[in-house]
Amino acid sequence: MAALVSLSIFSSCDKEDDHQAHAGEYKGAEVMVHEGKAWSSVTLDDDGVPTAMTISIDDAAMNSVPIGTGSGGGHQHDNSVILPFHDDVKSVTPFKYIGLDYNPDGHEPAAVYGLPHFDFHYYLMDNAERLAIPAYEADSAKFKAFPAPDYLPVNYAPIPGGVPQMGTHWIDVTSPELAGQTFTQTFIYGTYNNNVTFYEPMITLAYLKTAPVFSRSIPQPAKVKESGYYPTEMEVHKHLAQTDITLKSFIYREAK
């Protein structure tokens, strides 16, 4: 597994700012994932507004990740890489970079999420801040410092505890896997120290290998703390020799 690549850290956009980038698709640097590669891309329309923010994983990577025993072994940072955005789209959204995390044994709660799966973290916090997040047992106070309810979607609840270098994970309590169905995909929010810190599509390896063409809405909070363009839909699309996980249908939201 390649080491984490260097990041392009950037601030969120202002709706009235002139974007440096023109219409088109802007591909970030390719990063090794086992025997293959993954990368980010951001697509802008003629007004410089984002229409898609995509993680692409090629078949060589998808077919070479390890498969564990389904023991719910936990988040494994040795199966994690950072996907930077192209420099020319660094000011387009509040999202700063992407963390692609693969869990060959799934993670807690093992009875629900113990299947091999990917966590696709679209981070809203600087990487230095993220790396400084300690183990929950070392300092739980900031894990338990939740944002006001309006900054998270309704029906979301925190998973007890927290993950170092990530934070607290929030799940949609109406998700099918929490009602006894087999986990295939879900959408997670993350928080730390009173802030929403990431959006996270979480998808099993088995489901991605079925080559789905799938879309869903992203549950929305009533408020955001940072003005900018936020996605309202997610799409999974297998084509050619790659699988794309895309956040799309962006809307501009004012901080409240």
Kindly state the DSSP code that residue 166 receives in the 8-state scheme: T
Asked if residue 236 is part of any domain, the answer here is: yes
Asked if residue 3 is part of any domain, the answer here is: no
Alpha-carbon span 134 to 162, nearest angstrom: 9
Confidence at residue 7, expressed as pLDDT on a 0 to 100 scale: 34
User: Which CA distances in Å does 52 have to 29, 70, 228, 230?
Assistant: 17, 33, 14, 10
Overall domain count for the chain: 1
Find out whether 4 and 29 touch, Cβ atoms under 8 Å: no
Asked if residue 149 is part of any domain, the answer here is: yes
Confidence at residue 73, expressed as pLDDT on a 0 to 100 scale: 60
Asked if residue 4 is part of any domain, the answer here is: no
Confidence at residue 18, expressed as pLDDT on a 0 to 100 scale: 42
Confidence at residue 46, expressed as pLDDT on a 0 to 100 scale: 96
Domain that holds residue 46: 24-253
Asked if residue 64 is part of any domain, the answer here is: yes
Confidence at residue 76, expressed as pLDDT on a 0 to 100 scale: 59
Find out whether 67 and 205 touch, Cβ atoms under 8 Å: yes
Confidence at residue 68, expressed as pLDDT on a 0 to 100 scale: 83
Asked if residue 7 is part of any domain, the answer here is: no
Confidence at residue 90, expressed as pLDDT on a 0 to 100 scale: 86
Alpha-carbon span 128 to 151, nearest angstrom: 23
pLDDT in tens, the chain (256 residues): 333 333 333 333 444 444 457 999 999 999 999 999 999 999 999 999 999 999 999 999 999 999 987 655 656 566 899 999 999 998 899 999 999 999 999 988 899 999 999 999 999 999 999 999 999 999 999 999 999 999 999 999 999 999 999 999 999 999 999 999 999 999 999 999 999 999 999 999 999 999 989 999 999 999 999 999 999 999 999 998 999 999 999 999 999 9
Confidence at residue 79, expressed as pLDDT on a 0 to 100 scale: 86
Confidence at residue 42, expressed as pLDDT on a 0 to 100 scale: 99
Asked if residue 228 is part of any domain, the answer here is: yes
Asked if residue 222 is part of any domain, the answer here is: yes
